[in-house]
Amino acid sequence: MKATQELKNEHHGIEQMLQVLDAISAKLGRGEPLPAEHMDGIMEFLTVFIDKCHHGKEEEFLFPALEAAGVLREGGPIGVLLVEHDEGRRLVSKLKQCVSDHRSGDQQAAVGIQETVTAYVNLLRQHITKEDTVLFPMADAKLDAVSDTVLFEDFERLERERIGAGRHEAFHALLDQLQGIYLDE
Ligand SMILES: [Fe+2]
Per-residue pLDDT of the chain (185 residues; tens, 9 = 90+): 899 999 999 999 999 999 999 999 999 999 999 998 999 999 999 999 999 999 999 999 999 999 999 998 888 899 999 999 999 999 999 999 999 999 999 989 999 999 999 999 999 999 999 999 999 999 999 999 999 999 999 999 999 988 887 888 899 999 999 999 999 76
Q: Global pTM?
A: 0.94
CATH number at residue 58: 1.20.120.520
Cα–Cα distance measured from residue 36 to residue 59, given in angstroms and rounded to the nearest whole number: 31
For residues 81 and 165, give the distance between their C-alpha atoms in angstroms, rounded to a whole number.
28
Q: What separation in Å is there between the alpha carbon of 54 and the centre of ligand 1?
A: 6
User: How high is the pLDDT of residue 4?
Assistant: 98
User: What pLDDT is recorded for position 185?
Assistant: 62
pLDDT at 30: 95
| Domain interval for residue 126 | 2-182
Tell me the CA–centroid distance for residue 20 and ligand 1, in Å: 18
- What is the model's pLDDT at position 45? 97
CA of 157 to the centre of ligand 1 (A): 18
DSSP string across 65-113: HHHHTT--STTSHHHHHHHHHHHHHHHHHHHHHHHHHHHTT-TTHHHHH
What distance in Å separates the CA atoms of residue 167 and residue 180, rounded to the nearest whole number? Answer: 20
Number of domains in the chain: 1
> Which residues does 25 contact at the CB level (< 8 Å), separation at least 6?
113, 114, 117, 118
